Amino acid sequence: MSGDDPELAVGADAFTQQGAGLEVAVVGAGAVGATAAYDLAREGANVTLYDRGTVASGSTGRAAGICYDAFADGLDAELAGDAIERFRALSGDDTFPFVECPYVWLAREGDDERADAVREQVARMQDNGVVALEMEGDALADRFPALRTDDVAVAGIAGAAGYADPGAYAACLAAAATGAGATLETETPVEIRTDPTRVIDSEGEDREVDAVLVAAGAHTKELLAGAGVTLAMKPYRVQALVASGDLAGPMCYDASGDFYLRPHAGGLLAGDGTENREADPDAYDREADDGFADDLVERVAHRVPAIAADASLERAWAGLCTATPDRDPLVGELRDGLFVATGFQGHGFMRAPAIGQRIATEILGGEGIDAFDPTRFDGDEAFEVVSGMALDPN
């Protein structure tokens, strides 16, 4: 597939061919896996991209599509900023839309702990070169009149932000990967084995490869368990909805109310409902809980009064995110030739363009992301599931 960005229009033979002759299997055709497959293929690697379903049929297809660089940690901000730039470069009329939209996160009056956390985050972002502003309620009302602000103690604003359709992004990158020479195998469950590194598909074909990247979202843990590798990751269930209404922007995370929202075609997309326990990726309830939609629409209408009169539910659903003990992802080499990318705490899609590129670089022999080294855990650690969007006051 070619789009407005020349990167997608150039054939694989125009690049340095770092991966020439390298046999790589990528398991999981979501946003991260499709990006990695594309970046590997355009460097000359012989890539097969597998998925047990279709492209973006797992967590990517149920993601909110919110993207921002509003991270206090320097590495997180760097990755998110690189991802935003790549979303901008890759998007277009022939690929997928990326809509620029400011991102606001706020704490309410009386919620001193979260208000202090917002102030601290903004200060740290500014120290790390992230363009972020701190505002009180009155100034926020002048900037974004669609938001109710009379109960806002403090808000942060990030301008390098926007939203995209996660499914369209993954489909575009998977198509670009095949255009660069990769093979796409959907509806193909596989098993992973090591010593030597190989994949076994549902037909029993046993294929030895130089490297396997497991980027299968919530199923990553069980796939690696089949290869005798334990992983310090837990899938957890989240919920979201799409409703009609009048919301032109901004995207907003109400930390005190524990929900987020963004514009969506003809209305808005909103979510919350994190379940702080491990979910079974094969047996979790994909439907939203009874009462979830009514409750969330009511809370959203409090923050965006204009939608109160005409908001009507279009659909609601549940999906899975993945947690780790320290809330940082697991990205890198687990064993010789066996790589993983998971544990994104709900931030996987928004960093997919950067994470996919970096894990591809590591597979090709370059530097990895030391802070996300998956071997920093033994795999049997006990830890609690915590929402990825929760403010950290520390």
**Per-residue model confidence as pLDDT tens digits over 10-33:** 444 444 566 778 999 999 999 999
Contact 24, 47 (CB under 8 A): yes
Question: Residue 273 and residue 284: Cα distance in Å, rounded?
Answer: 14
Q: CA separation (Å) from 179 to 183, 312, 336?
A: 9, 41, 29
Q: Under a CB-based contact definition with an 8 Å cutoff, are residues 363 and 210 in contact?
A: no
Bridge pairing between strands 251-254 and 103-108: parallel
Whether 303 has a pLDDT exceeding 60, the answer reads yes
* Order of strands, sheet of 267-272, starting from the edge strand that comes earlier in the sequence: 132-135, 152-158, 103-108, 251-254, 259-264, 267-272, 234-244, 313-323
Instruction: Round to whole Å and give the CA distance between 186 and 167.
Output: 15
- pLDDT tens for each residue of 34-58: 999 999 999 999 999 999 999 999 9
Name the token pair of 325: 């003990």
- What is the pLDDT, as a whole number, of residue 391? 62
69-to-51, 126, 128 alpha-carbon distances in Å: 29, 12, 11
2 against 359, higher pLDDT: 359
Q: Residue holding tokens 């998007």?
A: 91
Q: Compute CA distances 155 → 72, 132, 140, 152, whole Å.
A: 14, 10, 8, 7
Residue with tokens 């974004």: 144
Per-residue confidence (pLDDT) for residue 14, from 0 to 100 = 42
Separation CA 313–CA 307 (nearest Å): 12
Residue 17 has a pLDDT of 65
Lowest mean pLDDT among 208-222, 264-278, 345-359: 264-278
Q: What percent of the chain has pLDDT over 90?
A: 84
Mean pLDDT to the nearest integer, 85-91: 97
- What pLDDT is recorded for position 231? 97
Percentage of the chain beyond pLDDT 70 is: 93
HSE toward the beta carbon, residue 196, CA cutoff 13 A: 8
Mean pLDDT, all residues of the chain? 92
CATH topology of domain 101-158+234-323: D-Amino Acid Oxidase; Chain A, domain 2 (3.30.9)
pLDDT given for residue 308 in this prediction: 67
Q: Which of 134, 71, 68, 76 is nearest to 106 (CA)?
A: 134
Tell me the CA distances in angstroms from 224 to 13, 213, 270, 292, 299, one per residue in order: 33, 11, 33, 34, 40
pLDDT score of 169 more than 70: yes
The full length of the chain comes to: 394
Whether the pLDDT of residue 288 is over 80: the answer is yes
322's tokens: 């993945």
Q: Is the pLDDT of residue 322 over 70?
A: yes
Give yes or no for residue 225 having a pLDDT over 80. Answer: yes
Predicted local confidence at residue 202, as pLDDT? 86
> Is the pLDDT at 5 greater than 70, yes or no?
no
Look at residue 9 and tell me whether its pLDDT is greater than 60. no
Looking at residues 382-387, what average pLDDT do you find? 89
| Averaged pLDDT for residues 60-89 | 96
Burial 334-368 (b: 16+ CB within 10 A, else e): bbebbbbbbbbbbbbbbbbbbbbbbbbbbbbeeeb
Distance of alpha carbon 370 from alpha carbon 335, whole angstroms: 15
- Biggest CA–CA distance in the chain, Å, is 64
Is the model's pLDDT at 152 over the cut of 90? yes
For the chain, what are the domain ranges?
A: 1-9+19-100+159-232+325-394, 101-158+234-323
**Lowest mean pLDDT segment, chosen from 7-16, 175-184, 360-369:** 7-16
Q: Which helix (H) or strand (E) holds 126?
A: helix 112-127
What backbone phi and psi angles, to 5 degrees, belong to 50?
Answer: -105, 150
**Structural tokens at position 205:** 């074909």
Contact 213, 341 (CB under 8 A): yes
Topology at the third CATH level for domain 1-9+19-100+159-232+325-394:
FAD/NAD(P)-binding domain (3.50.50)
From the centroid of its chain, how far is CA 195? 31
Do 101-158+234-323 and 1-9+19-100+159-232+325-394 have the same topology in CATH?
no
Question: CA 33, 59, 212 angle in degrees (round to 5)?
Answer: 25
Q: H or E element: which one contains 225?
A: helix 220-225
227-285 per-position pLDDT tens digit:
999 999 999 999 999 998 777 779 999 999 999 999 998 789 999 878 899 999 999 99
CA distance 189 to 208: 16
Q: What was the pLDDT predicted at 21? A: 85
> pLDDT category, 370, cuts 50, 70, 90?
very high
